[in-house]
Structure 1
Amino acid sequence: MVNSKNAPLYQQIFEEIKGAIEEGEYAPKERIPSEPELAAKYGVSRITVRRAVEDLCAEGYLVKQQGRGTFVSTPHINRRLLQYTVARSFTDVCHDNEMTPGARVVSRLIVPVRSEEAKFFELDDKALLLYIQRIRTADGQPIFEENVFLPYEGNQDLMDADLEDVSLFDKIAETGGARPTRTPQRTVEAVRATQEQASRLAIAPGDPLLFLNVWFADDQDRPVCIGRQYYVGARYRFVL
């Protein structure tokens, strides 16, 4: 049973589970005991346990997987933000961090171009774009929602290409397009997960996300694609 004299019970449970993770008692990707089991272990209510587990998820120590339970998170993926003028695929970043990259296609759509997109791609206002949405994973854990826009003309083959568990940069090059190598424009801001994003990323609605809006070009600074990505803040770290 936890000692309730100094801190709220949920905070004490938070610290105990956090300490167990940091000391290796719970290994990365290991399932922790269920809420009823933890409630019995600590002699508290399930509501108290749920508060502690939710806070651990929010800080990136745990991740909930629907229908499977709660698991210890894998280490943060690191990416050097100041070196991001050179485009690197998420697949390469995973390999840098000794993790297995994955991708699940959510949708592929043909959409009308918007004014800022038409300007970047040097298209007229009646042009069409190919919009590809995927969920990218590392060691099976959802890391970010990937939203990529590129001119439909010249990239039609991507509509039928196998985009599961592959680098989209590689596929763009394989189907005849130019490989993204530079990022002439990019912005980062903090946002909160929508209900739909939370379901796909195995987080709670309202959890923090890092929204990265990136314009990709090739070696000759010709436009290739636009990426609008939503990273789970507790699972991805931009290193300055």
Structure 2
Amino acid sequence: MAGHKYEQVRDHLLRRIRDVPVGGQMPAESVLCAEYEVSRITLRRAVDELVQDGYLVREHGRGTFVTRPRYHLKHRERFVNEVTGFYTQMARQGHTVTSEVVAQERIRAGARLAATLDISRATSVIRLERLRRVNGVVHHLAESFVAEERFPGVLTTDFTSTSLYAYLRAHHDLLLARNEIVVGLHICDEREAALLGVAEGSPLLLATSCVFEPGGKPVIHGTSKFLPETAELSFDIVADVE
């Protein structure tokens, strides 16, 4: 299996267990290892993520059984050893993601963005702001910035049902190698509160990210403001064992 083996095993298992009733038992690890032609470490990592997301449960001495996520409105965004967009992550888990484009405009970079994206302060930057929903429920407010000179199509592309990451891969053959993320608390202002349907001054989870291509050049700066009651952030830090 090419690419990240555990991700492919995880995604295939997720599709497979959707056809299994709650309480159904999964094959033994040794059987799955042989079937997917992967090591026990790789298989356990794939199963671990499905356990964390609530699709499987381990019972000591009995085996692994199919269950269903306990939180129907609480969606986990993973920050793992791969760089994917929110759309891809949620789609893998079987959710429907839609975006309402709030702003799609050209602005001057200014000092902060210039430093973050390693560009001139006078450079034109495209600001893309989207209100994102998962299965029809408001999930978070996302804001992304890219240099217009390099990615001019971002200004006019319809991102209602298109991932920014997928667009950049498809139209610019862009590989995303690293995502640096800082998570903190943000108190929403009046505008954000109206968009998210919460009271002004409500606390939000704020994830600020900078995405780099191979070679270390920053290409996307973004922020995501999450509703704590409908989202959680998960960090998976592992050694590269295979």
Structure 2 letter corresponding to 1:173: R
Q: Which is greater in Rg?
A: 1
Equivalent in the alignment of 1:79: 77
Question: Which digits, 9 at most, give the CA deviation of each residue in 1:114-142, with x for residues without a partner?
Answer: 32422333322221111111111100111
For 1:179 and 1:105, how far apart are their aligned partners in 2?
24
Equivalent in the alignment of 1:197: 192
Q: Are 1:216 and 2:211 counterparts?
A: yes
Question: Which digits, 9 at most, give the CA deviation of each residue in 1:161-207, with x for residues without a partner?
Answer: 11112111111223326243421x32111122222112211222222
- Residues 30-179 of structure 1 aligned to structure 2 (within 5 Å): 74-81=72-79, 83=80, 86-176=82-172, 178-179=174-175
Question: Which digits, 9 at most, give the CA deviation of each residue in 1:19-45, with x for residues without a partner?
Answer: xxxxxxxxxxxxxxxxxxxxxxxxxxx
Pairwise CA RMSD of aligned residues?
A: 1.9
Query: Is there any run of 5+ residues in structure 1 with no aligned partner, and where?
Result: 1-72
1:219/1:202 CA distance change after superposition, 3 Å: same
Identity of aligned residues (%): 16
Query: Is there any run of 5+ residues in structure 2 with no aligned partner, and where?
Result: 1-70, 236-242
1:112/1:179 CA distance change after superposition, 3 Å: same
**Alpha carbons 2:133, 2:140 under 8 Å: kept:** yes
For 2:197 and 2:115, how far apart are their aligned partners in 1?
36
Q: TM-score, normalised by structure 1?
A: 0.63
For 1:155 and 1:223, how far apart are their aligned partners in 2?
13
For 2:125 and 2:171, how far apart are their aligned partners in 1?
16
For 2:116 and 2:202, how far apart are their aligned partners in 1?
32
Q: How many residues align?
A: 165
